[in-house]
A and B are shown apart, each in its own frame.
Chain A
Amino acid sequence: MQRPTPAKFELLVRRDDEEGFELRQVASVTGYLSSRPRRIEPDAYEISELRSRVAIAPGFILKNKTTDRFLLLSEPERFLWDQMDGATSLQEIATAYVLKYGEFDFEIIPSLLRKLQRAQLLTFEPRSRLRAVLARNRGRAVVKAIELVLTGLERIRISTHNVQGFFQALYRFGGFLLFTPIAAIACAVLAVAGAAAALVLFRDVHDMLEGFGGHALRGVLMVKLLFFVSVALHQFVHGLACIHYRRRVREFGFTFLHGFVPTFYIDVTDIFMASRRARVVTAVTGALVHLALGAVAFIVAAQAPTGSFTQAFAAASGIIQWQALVVALYPFCFIEMDGYHILVDVLGVPTLKHDAIGYAKSLLTGAGRIIGEGREEPLWIAYVVLSTISVAAFIAFNAWIIFSATH
C-alpha cells in the first residue's frame, strides 16, 4: 500500500503592519522533529545491562515499574533513551545520534518511540522547565503576569526561510574573502594589536572607565547596542561559512530566547552533512567576529583621549566583545555555545554536558547513579570541575573590573 504524503497545514503568519503576511506550509514532519519526547520519572522505571558472552554489543532491559512491561534495548537505543529528557527535540536527538555513531538509521527513532509508547515509558514535553514551574504556580498573580509576558515575548519571532539566495549573494560579493589566508592573517594581526592596546589600557582601568561619568546610561545603551549588532554579525558569518562549504542556510531570524533573551539566530544544521573541518570552521569563524570587533575597540580606546567618553565606550565594548569570544569558544562553562559543539564533535561525546551534570548530581546526592563505567567518568568530572572553576573565575573577573572602575 502506498504511504500517504505527510499531512500539511498552510499557515498565514501576520507581520506587524497588519496586512503584510507570510504563508508557510507546515508539514507534520516539522512538528514531529520539534517534539520533545520525555521518558517517565526515574523512579518509575529500571534499566539494567544484559551481559552476554555471545553477543559483542551489550543489550539493556528497560522495565516500567508501574505496568510491569519490559523492553529489550540495543546499545544505540539505550543512547537514544538517555537523550529523551523532555528538553531535547527529536531533531537534536538525531543529530546527537549522527555525531556518536557517524551514520543515521532512519527507522531507529520512530520504531523506538513506538516501542516506548506501547510500554507507556514516554510522555511528550512541549514546554521548558521554567514554563513548567510557572504553570504549577499559576495561582499567584505575579507568576501569571510573568507567564503572560513570556508568552507575549515568545511570540515575537521575525524570521525568514528564504535566505539561501541572500547569503549566496553576500558570499559572492565579498563574503568569500573571510575564508582566505589573508583574512586569517589580518585577524591574527588585529588580535595581537588589540591585545597590546588592551594591556596598555588596563594599567589604569579606573581612569579609562571614568569617561562614563555623567553619561552612564548612554554608555551602557551604546555598548549594548553594539554588542547586539555584533551578535547579528556573528550569525551572518556562520551563514557565510555554511555557504563556503556549499551547504544550505535554512533560516535566519530574531527571537526572544527562553522568552526573555533577545537574540539573532541562524539555522546552519545542514553543515552536519559536511566534514568535521567544515563544522569546526563554521563554529569558529562566527565567534571571531567578536575577536575582530574587540580588537578594533581596544585600539580605538588606546588612541582616544584618556578619560573621554569615546575611550570608555570603546574599552567597555572591547571587554564585552572579548568576553563574548571567550564564552562562545570556551567549552567549559555549562553553556552549549560554539566551543562546546566543537569539543563534543572532536570527542565524539554529544551528550557530554547532560551526562556530566547527571553524574555530578548523583555523586552529590549520594544516589550513586552510575550512568556508565570506565573512561567516561573522568571526562564528566573534568567537565564539571573545569566549568565550575571557569564560571567562578568569569564572575570574579567581572567583579574585579566593576570594583576597579568604581574605587
Chain B
Amino acid sequence: MQASDETLAFLRDVRVFEAFSDPDLTALTDRLRERDLRRHQILFREGDRGDEMFIVRRGTILISKAVTGKVEQVLVRVEPFDFFGEMSLFDGSPRSATAQAETDVELLVLGRDSLQAMTETAPRAAAAFFYAMVQVFMERLRRSTQQVAEATRWGLEATGLDVEAR
C-alpha cells in the first residue's frame, strides 16, 4: 500500500503505532493492505482460521459471539482508529468471535508475515507495538471482567433472585 500523507496521519492516531518514528510508520504502511466491506458483510466468522489483524479506518465493525441458534451477543463495536482480530495474529488460533460490518467499512490489514518482517527490520518499532498491545490487552481484560459482572447482574435482575437475604 502506498504511504500517503493521509494514511500516515491516520496511523499516527492508532494507539499501537503512536510511538512509531516516521520512517518506521512509512515502512509499516507499505506492509499494510486495504480492504473494504459493504454494510452487513461478514469479515470472518467465529471458528474461522486467521492470521491477520484489522484496523478500522472508516465505519463500524460489530464483534459478536454465538449464544444460541441465530442469536449472538454483541461484545463490542470497533470504531475508527481501533483494531481487532489480533488474537489470531499472535497465536494462529481460530477466530474467537464473528466480525461483521455494521456500516460500509474501510480497513487496513496487517498480516503475520508483515509483523514478522517488522520485528526483524525495525525491532524498536516492534517493541513499541508489543508494549502498546499489552496495554490494550489489559484494558480489554478489564472490560471482559466487567462484562462478566454485568452478565451476572443481568441474571440476578432477570430472575428477581434476592441473594442478599439468603
**Chain A interface residues toward B at CB < 8 A:** 4, 6-15, 18-21, 23, 28-32, 35, 110, 113-114, 117-118, 124, 155
Contact = CB atoms under 8 A, between A and B. Distances in A.
B73 A11 contact: yes
Given A7-B154, A19-B41, A19-B100, A12 B159 contact: no
A117 B161 contact: yes
A14 B72 contact: yes
Interface of B: 40-42, 62, 64, 67-74, 100, 150-151, 153-162, 165-166
Contacts of A11: 67, 71-74
A15 B40 CA distance: 12
- Of A8, A10, A118, chain B has the most CB atoms within 10 Å of the CB of A10
- Of A6, A11, A110, chain B has the most CB atoms within 10 Å of the CB of A11
B42 A19 contact: yes
B166 A31 contact: no
Contacts of A6: 157
Interface of B is mostly: mixed
Contacts of B162: 113-114, 117-118
Nearest to A17: B40
A31 B159 CA distance: 7
Nearest to B157: A28
A11 B74 CA distance: 6
A12 B160 contact: no
Contact of B69 (A7, A114, A155): A155
B158 A31 contact: yes
B157 A12 contact: no
B64 A12 contact: yes
Given A12-B71, A12-B74, A14-B72, A114 B165 contact: yes
Contacts of B42: 18-19
Contacts of A13: 70-72
Given A12-B64, A30-B158, 12 more contacts: A7-B150, A7-B153, A8-B154, A10-B73, A10-B74, A19-B42, A21-B100, A29-B158, A114-B165, A117-B162, A118-B165, A155-B68
B162 to A, nearest CB: 4
Given A8-B154, A19-B40, A118-B166, A35 B159 contact: yes
30 contacts: A4-B153, A7-B150, A7-B153, A9-B154, A10-B74, A11-B74, A12-B62, A12-B64, A12-B73, A13-B71, A14-B70, A14-B71, A14-B72, A19-B40, A20-B40, A21-B40, A23-B74, A28-B153, A28-B155, A28-B156, A29-B158, A31-B157, A32-B157, A32-B158, A32-B159, A113-B160, A114-B165, A118-B165, A118-B166, A155-B69
